[in-house]
Chain A
Amino acid sequence: MPDLGEAPRADRNLDALFRPRGVAVVGASPDPGSPGHQILRFATQTHFPGPVYPVHPSAREVGGLRAYPSILEIPGPVDLVVLAVPARVCVEVARQVAQRHDERGDAVAVVVVSGGFAETETPEGRALQEALLEPLRPRGIRLVGPNCMGVLDAHTGVTTTFDLGTYPEGGLALVTQSGAFAISFLQWARPLGMVGLSKLVSVGNMADVDLTELVRYLGSDPHTRVIGVYMEGLRDARAFVLAAGEVTRKKPVVVYKAGRTELGARAASSHTGSLAGQDEIYEGAFRQAGVLRARRVSEFYDLVRVLEKLPLPSGNRVCVCSAIGGPGTICVDEVAASGVLQMAHLSDEVREALRGVLAPTATIGRPDGYLDMTGSIRAQTHGEVLRVVLEAPEVDAVLLLTTPPAFLDEEEVAEAILDAYRAQPEPRKPVLPVLTFGDTVARARRRLEAGGLPTFELPDAAVQALAQVVRYVRYRARRSS
Chain B
Amino acid sequence: MPHPVIARALEQGRGFLLEPESYALCQTYGIPHAPFATCRTSEEAVAAADRMGYPVVLKVVSPYILHKSDVGGVVVGLRSGEEVAAAYPQLLEAVSRAAPQASVEGVLVQRMQRGSAELVVGGLVDPQFGPVVMVGAGGILVELLRDVSFRLAPLDLEEALEQLAETRAYRLLQGLRGRPPADLRAVGELLVRVGELLLAEQDIQELDLNPVVAGPEGCVAVDARVVLRTYGPAGRFPLA
Contacts and interface: CB of A to CB of B under 8 A. Distances in A.
Interface of A: 1-4, 233-238, 241, 275, 277-278, 280-281, 283-285, 287-288, 478
Contact of B129 (A1, A277, A478): A277
Contacts of B152: 4, 238, 241, 284-285, 288
Interface in B145-164: 148-152, 154-156, 158-159, 162-163
B129 A281 contact: yes
Contacts of B158: 478
Contacts of A237: 126, 128-129
Contact of B155 (A2, A235, A478): A2
B156 to A, nearest CB: 5
Given A287-B162, A287-B166, A281 B154 contact: no
Given A238-B152, A285-B129, 8 more contacts: A233-B128, A281-B128, A283-B149, A284-B132, A284-B166, A287-B162, A287-B166, A288-B159
Contacts of B126: 237, 277-278, 281
A235 B128 CA distance: 6
B129 A241 contact: yes
B128 A238 contact: yes
B30 interface: no
Q: Do most interface residues of chain B lie in helix, strand or loop, or is the interface mixed?
A: mixed
Interface of B: 126-130, 132, 148-152, 154-156, 158-159, 162-163, 166
A248 to B, nearest CB: 14
Nearest to A277: B128
Contacts of A281: 126, 128-129, 132, 150
A2 B148 contact: no
A3 B154 CA distance: 7
B154 A4 contact: yes
B189 to A, nearest CB: 14
Contact of B128 (A3, A234, A478): A234
A421 B130 CA distance: 47
A278 B132 CA distance: 12
A361 B156 CA distance: 54
Given A284-B149, A288-B159, A2 B129 contact: no
Contacts of B163: 284
A1 B162 CA distance: 12
Contacts, number: 58
Contacts of A241: 129, 152
A287 B128 CA distance: 17
Contacts of A285: 129, 132, 150-152
A80 to B, nearest CB: 31
Given A2-B156, A2-B159, A284 B151 contact: yes
A461 B159 CA distance: 29
Contacts of B150: 280-281, 283-285
Nearest to A283: B150
B43 to A, nearest CB: 47
Contacts of A284: 132, 149-152, 163, 166
Contacts of B127: 275, 277
A288 B128 CA distance: 16
B129, B162, B163 — which one has the most chain A CB atoms within 10 A of its CB? B129
B121 to A, nearest CB: 14
B159 to A, nearest CB: 6
Nearest to B195: A2
26 contacts: A1-B159, A2-B159, A4-B152, A233-B128, A234-B128, A236-B128, A237-B126, A237-B128, A237-B129, A238-B128, A238-B129, A275-B128, A277-B126, A277-B129, A278-B126, A280-B148, A280-B149, A283-B149, A283-B150, A284-B132, A284-B150, A284-B151, A284-B166, A285-B132, A285-B151, A288-B155
Closest 3 CB pairs of A and B: A284-B150, A237-B128, A277-B128
A444 to B, nearest CB: 40
A4 B133 CA distance: 14
B151 A238 contact: no
A278 B150 CA distance: 10
Contacts of A278: 126, 128
Contacts of A3: 154
Contacts of B154: 2-4
Nearest to A289: B152
A478 B162 CA distance: 11
B127 to A, nearest CB: 8
A2 B149 CA distance: 18
A288 B127 CA distance: 18
Contacts of A236: 128
B151 A288 contact: yes
A342 B113 CA distance: 40
Contacts of A235: 128
Nearest to A279: B150
Contacts of A2: 154-156, 159
Contact of B130 (A1, A238, A478): A238
